[in-house]
Structure 1
Amino acid sequence: MTASQADFEAAIERTLIEIEDALDSCEWDIDYERADAVLTLTLEDNGSQVILSRQTANKELWVAARSGGYHLAFEPPGWKCTTTGEDLPTLLDRVLTEQQGESVSLGL
């Protein structure tokens, strides 16, 4: 069963806040900037970025990283990548680790 538009919007907002909170308390130097439902993470060691964005028409959360673009569908209780099958915390930790060059875990 697909999420309603209201469920999708609430899930996006909740997810972005959870990621911001995790970044505020993590040990890595990762800056973030949010503009509406686009969250840009910048790894200060090398300047690389990971961008998360809401795709309302598809009811998806997209993650753009050096390793590629990932589309995640909201499947309560969370987000699942439509190509790799990873949940959002696993995917985000993986792409941040790849770009940081050392193990990153946000603890989401």
Structure 2
Amino acid sequence: MMSQTEFESAIEQTLVAIEDALDECAWDIDYERNGAVLTLTLEDNGSQVILSRQSANRELWVAAKSGGYHLAFENPGWKCGTTGESLPTLLNRVLSEQQGEAVSLEISQQ
């Protein structure tokens, strides 16, 4: 099991990688970071996807219209306990569902 320090480092690297991917993407997706919460807003329809750090149980939570997802860090990256998807796969799926067209962010897995 990873230490709290390793968890915090992995989360920070992941959130920065998502912000970098959003800066480079072709879709109009705004983002705002407030402490441990990263809110993505799709400008076309105003819907949001929210990623939040859950330090107590060392998880990354993703809240989307289709539901809430809890991801744990398993080498080589974050994996959803319910769907088995990696974070990039999950994030691209929920963003595509909410955008109404395929969204593909290039997120580097830690």
Which bracket does the TM-score occupy, shorter chain normalised? over 0.9
2:81 — aligned with what? 82
Query: Identity of counterpart residues, as a percentage?
Result: 79
8 A Cα contact 1:3 1:75, kept in partner: no
Gaps of 5+ in 1: none
Q: State how far apart, in whole Å, the 1-side matches of 2:97 and 2:8 are.
A: 29
* CA RMSD of superposed structures (Å): 0.5
Q: State how far apart, in whole Å, the 2-side matches of 1:61 and 1:25 are.
A: 23
1:57 — aligned with what? 56
Q: Which consecutive segments of 4 or more residues in structure 1 shift more than 6 A?
A: none
TM-score for both structures, normalised by structure 2: 0.96
TM-score for both structures, normalised by structure 1: 0.97
Gaps of 5+ in 2: none
Structure 1 residue 76 displacement after superposition: 2.2
Q: What CA deviation, in whole Å up to 9, does each residue of 1:19-62 have, x standing for no partner? A: 00000010000000001110000000000000000000110000
Structure 1 residue 65 displacement after superposition: 0.1
Q: State how far apart, in whole Å, the 2-side matches of 1:27 and 1:17 are.
A: 18
Q: Secondary structure at the match of 1:58?
A: coil
Residue type of the alignment partner of 1:72? L
